């Protein structure tokens, strides 16, 4: 087994443990339950879900390492007639109970392609991932904190990375049918292959540093907002906005659609969907309201650091 | 203006009035509010929505007649370099408050293609539509009634129609990623063009008869189930199942995806989305429960008449 694969597998296993512990400590009521699963065709995963907590209404922190023959949609995508793959990653989505605490998504993954079934002759390999924040009510300091922790992780590997990956995040997590961003962004990167600046090993270091930054990027925001009071109208607004989250994931998200096309494990894929959601006809926040202020930010993504 | 277009426009305007009145009479509390809208590029519509009623938690009964240059995705679909179209139809989705009353969807539409911008030289024209029922708790009599009213409307135009369109409905309203039908079916038909059995005018008669059958197919079911008692666990189940409705509409429904790709009016398209929805991780109904009985039917679509 390739060293990168082996090391990255250990890395995501440890990261899953660290993130779940940190979230459980904050929640104080619920713990994650684990569903191990195996994939027909090779590999499997460890899905961990927390539900109906005091702080986290629903959240999933999943890891999987799967391998086998390339599914047809990927063969077509890469324009190859035959091929084998290995893919390993951690994926998380956390939906807090309080509308004052933002939803967060993060993902860190590695993908390898081979010419042979025994995965000895690697023809390609790349890292991908990112993290992004979706507030329902916005304190500028929260967005600044989230971005600045991620920027620090990027800057260790070159000051060209944060601006590029921040921009890709704004472009990717975009509900084009609404003309608004899903949230206030963060990082998005994909197809990180060896180039004239960085080796695959250096991209691995970068991806793992970004993963390691997640807890510090998100948890301080949770801690300073989880005791903010909120009323039922604010919860209502959160549920309306969660509808936009569903729209993005089911209409636009490549990861979700890829999972569906390749017979991924549905319940692990859909752990990203919020627990309670509303769609009202033509819901509009009141002029000058805090809700409208968030919407204006989502329509005009800005620089936070 | 072509006679078919003109007649069908009048038909859907009248049908919208009739259906809205019939639903308002049953609800007794709320009435439909109307949003007229115009389309950049030609035409417009009349969206009518009812919300937070005693019987109907959310429902839309929309008509639109739009025309202009073919949007690029349709040009590609029909493999033409230039072309103009006219499309008119009625589309409705009703989400009752009570989980004992099924959700219903129906749609009746006509499409014309032209070689010229003035829509004088028609090169093609076809009817499409259907109606389907999505119960959360199932009384066999309800499914039988719905199908038998629609079958009667079909049979007037030939006994080959109901079996063909019933089958297409089961195939179309199918959540392939879940391995289950969206509901207990009904009719689905599309691309009804003149053939050796029926003229375009006869397909129009058929489509209008199917549209006229809607009220009789659905409202008696509403009336006999709206006073059934229900508890919060049954409401919970309805909201879980509404999640499947969202999944179908955003992942699989051609009409929704077509609307998004062609810059359709978002709020009119998304009036189909349920008012309150839940996604729990890996929700499973109890063995032997009424909920499980519905699920078993959805996994094995059956003949109702």
* Out of A266, A270, A282, closest to residue B267 by CB: A282
Query: To the nearest whole percent, how much of chain A has pLDDT over 90?
Result: 88
**Can you tell me the mean pLDDT for A251-267?**
87
Question: How much is the pLDDT for B77?
Answer: 81
**pLDDT-based confidence at residue B107 (cuts at 50, 70, 90):** very high
- State pLDDT tens for residues B25-80: 999 999 999 999 999 888 999 999 999 999 999 999 999 999 999 888 888 887 88
Phi, psi of B270 (to 5 degrees): -85, 5
Question: What phi and psi, each to the nearest 5 degrees, are found at residue A156?
Answer: -55, -25
Give the contacts of B144 (CB within 8 A, at least 6 positions apart): B304, B305
Ranges A8-12, A33-37, A169-173, B40-44: which has the least confidence:
B40-44
Per residue in A19-71, pLDDT (tens digit) is 999 999 999 999 999 999 999 888 999 999 999 999 999 999 999 999 999 88
- Asked if residues B172 and B128 have their Cβ atoms less than 8 Å apart, the reply is no
Nearest residue in B to A35, CA atom: B282
Please answer whether residues B111 and B87 qualify as being in contact, where contact means their C-beta atoms are separated by less than 8 angstroms.
Answer: yes
Residues in chain B: 305
DSSP secondary structure string for all residues of B235-270: HHHHHHHHHHHHHIIIII-HHHHHHHHTT--HHHHG
CB contacts of A58 in chain B (<8 Å) are 279-281
Residue-level pLDDT at B189: 98
Least Cα distance to A182 among A109, A133, A255, A117 occurs for: A133
Domains of chain B: 3-299 (3.40.1500.10)
Residues of B in contact with A273 (CB under 8 A): 243, 279
- What is the CA angle A270-A67-A65, rounded to 5? 55
Residues of B within 8 A of A180 (CB-CB) are none
pLDDT at A93 over 60: yes
- Reading the block at residue A273, the tokens are 């969907």
Closest residue to A276, CB basis, from B267, B271, B276: B276
pLDDT of residue B72: 85
Residues 6+ apart with CB under 8 A from B106: B90, B91, B92, B129, B130, B131, B132, B211, B214
Note the Cα B270 to chain centre separation in Å. 13
Quickly count helices (H) and strands (E) in chain A.
9, 10
pLDDT digits (tens, 9 = 90+) for B167-205: 999 999 999 999 999 999 999 999 999 999 999 999 999
Average pLDDT estimate for A92-114: 97
CA-based end-to-end distance of chain A: 41
Residue with tokens 């009323």: A231
Chain A, window 73-112: residues with a beta carbon less than 8 angstroms from a chain B beta carbon: none
Picking from A123-127, A263-267, A292-296, B135-139, which range would have the lowest pLDDT averaged per residue?
A263-267
**B277–A contact, CB cutoff 8 A:** yes
State the pLDDT at residue A146: 98
ipTM of the complex: 0.94
- B124-177 pLDDT, tens digit per residue, is 999 999 999 999 999 999 999 999 999 999 999 999 999 999 999 999 999 999
Strand partners of residue B44 = B38, B65
Q: What is the pLDDT of residue A41?
A: 84
pLDDT of residue A1: 54
pLDDT tens profile A175-219: 999 999 999 999 999 999 999 999 999 999 999 999 999 999 999
Report the percent of chain A where pLDDT is more than 70: 100
pLDDT at A279 over 60: yes
Task: Tell me what pLDDT residue A40 has.
Answer: 87
Average pLDDT of B274-285?
Answer: 97
A278 chain-B contacts, CB cut-off 8 A: 275-277
Q: Are A267 and B250 an interchain contact pair (Cβ–Cβ within 8 Å)? A: no
Task: Look at B278 and A282 and tell me if their CB atoms are within 8 Å.
Answer: no
Q: Is B105 a catalytic residue?
A: yes
Cα–Cα dist A186/A217, whole Å? 10
Whether B177 contacts chain A with CB within 8 A: yes
- pLDDT, one tens digit per residue, over B241-272 is 999 999 999 999 988 888 887 778 999 999 99
Residue A222's nearest CA partner among A33, A57, A51 is: A57
């Amino acid at each position: 087994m390739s060293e990168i694969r082996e090391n990255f597998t250990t890395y995501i296993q440890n990261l899953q443990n660290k993130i779940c512990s940190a979230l459980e400590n904050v929640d104080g009521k619920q713990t994650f339950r684990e569903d191990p699963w195996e994939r027909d065709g090779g590999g499997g995963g460890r899905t961990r879900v927390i539900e109906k907590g005091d702080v986290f209404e629903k959240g999933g922190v999943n890891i999987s390492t799967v391998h086998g023959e390339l599914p047809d949609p990927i063969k077509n995508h890469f324009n190859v007639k035959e091929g084998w793959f290995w893919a390993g990653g951690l994926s998380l989505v956390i939906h807090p109970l309080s509308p004052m605490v933002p939803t967060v998504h993060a993902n860190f993954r590695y993908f390898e392609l081979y010419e042979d079934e025994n995965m000895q002759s690697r023809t390609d390999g790349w890292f991908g991932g990112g993290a992004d924040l979706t507030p329902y009510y916005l304190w500028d300091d929260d967005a600044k904190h989230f971005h600045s922790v991620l920027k620090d992780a990027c800057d260790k590997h070159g000051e060209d990375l944060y601006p590029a990956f921040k921009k890709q995040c704004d472009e990717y997590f975009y509900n084009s049918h609404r003309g608004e961003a899903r949230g206030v962004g963060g990082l998005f990167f994909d197809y990180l292959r060896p180039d004239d600046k960085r080796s695959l090993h250096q991209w691995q270091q970068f991806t793992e540093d970004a993963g390691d930054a997640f807890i510090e990027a998100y948890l301080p925001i949770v801690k300073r907002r989880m005791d903010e009071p909120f009323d039922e109208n604010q919860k209502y607004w959160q549920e309306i906005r969660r509808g936009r989250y569903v729209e993005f994931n089911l209409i636009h998200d490549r990861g979700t659609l890829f999972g569906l096309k390749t017979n991924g494990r549905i319940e692990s894929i859909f752990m990203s969907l919020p627990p309670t959601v509303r769609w009202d006809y033509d819901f509009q926040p009141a002029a000058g309201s805090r809700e409208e202020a968030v919407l204006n930010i989502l329509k005009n993504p800005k620089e936070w650091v």
